[in-house]
């Protein structure tokens, strides 16, 4: 019940006009290099999370323990799976181990269409495919593309450059198997958050 209420309140808040969300965040409109502005809803959520200590760093915890804490904190914001999306988890062999790549396909996907190889947020040490599932489903539906979310191995257990090498290996794996996936090898994009 609490999770449903939290989701409802979150949807209501982020549907407010951008100018209100900026004012509610308590900070001026945030900008990135090049003058790009931060999405007002994203700014409100990020500033609120920082003020509330969500995603805070507890230096007494290990990185794997922090990952579990962050995952629990994000659970109320998780969206239900989109209808018409099929997910298939695949195991990909990479140097020194294996990774999971989740393939998201919308029911309207046509063979020979485009693909997106998607890398989840977390600066190579946090989160996982679970954190980008709803985004990947949305992209698969709205762009009518197959989306491959990469579960690269995380630092510090797998230090740099392992996560980056995993990401590169996943992209090459998708490209090498384009025919089997019924995707156009000339229309493979890379995205992430």
**Tell me: the pLDDT tens digits for 93-106?**
999 999 999 999 99
- Alpha carbon distance 40, 80 (integer Å): 23
**CA 106 – CA 118 distance, rounded (Å):** 16
Lowest mean pLDDT among 39-53, 132-146, 157-171: 39-53
The burial class, CB within 10 Å (0-12 / 13-18 / 19+), for 147 is buried
The three-state secondary structure class of 148 is: strand
Average pLDDT over residues 53-61: 66
Q: How confident is the model over 103-126, as pLDDT tens digits? A: 999 999 999 999 999 999 887 888
Beta strands across the sheet bearing 183-192: 85-94, 97-106, 146-151, 113-119, 183-192
Contact 158, 128 (CB under 8 A): no
């Amino acid at each position: 019940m609490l999770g449903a209420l939290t989701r409802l309140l979150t949807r209501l808040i982020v549907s407010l006009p951008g100018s209100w969300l900026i004012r509610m965040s308590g900070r001026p409109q945030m900008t990135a290099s090049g003058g790009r502005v931060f999405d007002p809803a994203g700014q409100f959520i990020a500033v609120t999370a920082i003020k509330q200590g969500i995603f805070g760093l507890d230096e007494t915890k290990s990185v794997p323990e922090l990952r579990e804490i962050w995952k629990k904190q994000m659970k109320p914001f998780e969206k239900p799976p989109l209808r018409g999306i099929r997910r298939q988890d695949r195991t990909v062999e990479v140097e020194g181990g294996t990774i999971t790549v989740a393939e998201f396909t919308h029911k309207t996907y046509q063979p020979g269409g485009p693909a997106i190889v998607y890398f989840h947020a977390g600066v190579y040490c946090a989160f996982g495919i679970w954190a980008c599932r709803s985004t990947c489903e949305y992209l698969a539906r709205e762009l009518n593309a197959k989306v491959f979310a990469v579960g690269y191995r995380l630092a510090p257990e797998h230090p740099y450059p392992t996560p980056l090498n995993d990401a590169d290996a996943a992209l090459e794996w998708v490209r090498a198997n384009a025919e089997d996936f019924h995707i156009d090898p000339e229309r493979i994009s890379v995205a992430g958050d």
